């Protein structure tokens, strides 16, 4: 009986001391992103250069990340808009745990987009990131001779969540 109690205490201590792995980088590939994509995403695809990416296939997509808490975060991603002739500007709006952070325009070619997310919006543990887009359209409906029937908003190459850079101290 005593051995069982000791084993239970060690197990409890191990579980309570184990820190959750904070999400820092998603490469939108099976190795780093599996389990993070919640809804609205395509499967993994590859560019001509063999880089992996995923499509946001809806006007709104969700992913979950783990944050240890404690500070503001810089959320940055490389993405490009699904573009077609006479397409309106594709704007992505970032929400963290249901609160709107900001919006930014996306381009036809891959570019980095950066948001600063205040620490008040993050909670310790699992957090929901939601991205809302101006449009999600089917290539078949918008591009002559296209046969892709999926709805596409934007493609994502990678996403990172980092503490903001430390201020420079000048003397």
Domain ranges of the chain: 18-160
Q: Which residues is 100 bridged to in the sheet?
A: 95
What's the predicted TM-score (pTM) here? Answer: 0.84
Closest CA to 21 of 57, 63, 65, 54: 65
Question: Residue 165: what pLDDT?
Answer: 76
| Phi then psi dihedrals of residue 36, to 5 deg | -90, -30
Question: Residue 39: what pLDDT?
Answer: 97
Q: pLDDT digit of tens for each residue in the chain (171 aa)?
A: 555 544 444 334 433 344 458 999 999 999 989 899 999 999 999 999 999 999 999 999 999 999 997 799 999 999 999 999 999 999 999 999 999 999 999 999 999 999 999 999 999 999 999 999 999 999 999 999 999 999 999 999 999 999 877 776 677
What are the CA-CA distances from residue 102 to residues 68, 79, 116 (Å)?
22, 16, 9
Question: Residue 8: what pLDDT?
Answer: 43
Q: How far is the C-alpha of 94 from the C-alpha of 37, rounded, in Å?
A: 15
Closest CA to 130 of 153, 107, 163: 153
Question: Residue 13: what pLDDT?
Answer: 40
| Cβ-Cβ contacts under 8 Å for 70 (sequence gap 6 or more) | 119
Q: Which residues is 94 bridged to in the sheet?
A: 102, 131
* H-helix segments, 18-159: 30-33, 139-142
Q: Which fold has domain 18-160?
A: Jelly Rolls (2.60.120)
For tokens 């389990």, name the residue: 35
Closest CA to 79 of 63, 99, 100, 98: 63
Whether the CA torsion 157, 159, 164, 169 is positive or negative: it is negative
Question: Residue 20: what pLDDT?
Answer: 57
Question: Residue 120: what pLDDT?
Answer: 96
Q: How far is the C-alpha of 50 from the C-alpha of 45, rounded, in Å?
A: 9
Q: How far is the C-alpha of 64 from the C-alpha of 123, rounded, in Å?
A: 12
Question: Residue 92: what pLDDT?
Answer: 98
């Amino acid at each position: 009986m005593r051995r069982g109690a000791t084993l239970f205490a060690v197990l409890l201590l191990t579980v309570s001391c184990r820190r959750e792995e904070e999400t820092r980088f998603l490469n939108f590939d099976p190795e780093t992103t599996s389990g993070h994509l919640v809804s609205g995403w395509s499967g993994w695809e590859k560019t001509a250069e063999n880089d992996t990416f995923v499509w946001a296939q809806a006007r709104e997509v969700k992913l979950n990340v783990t944050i240890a808490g404690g500070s503001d975060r810089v959320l940055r991603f490389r993405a490009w808009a699904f573009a077609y002739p006479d397409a309106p500007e594709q704007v992505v709006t970032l929400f963290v745990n249901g609160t709107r952070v900001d919006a930014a325009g996306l381009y036809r070619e891959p570019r980095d987009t950066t948001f600063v997310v205040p620490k008040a919006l993050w909670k310790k543990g699992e957090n929901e990131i939601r991205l809302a887009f101006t449009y999600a359209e089917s290539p078949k409906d918008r591009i002559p001779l296209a046969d892709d029937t999926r709805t596409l908003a934007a493609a994502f190459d990678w996403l990172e969540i980092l503490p903001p850079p430390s201020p420079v101290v000048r003397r």
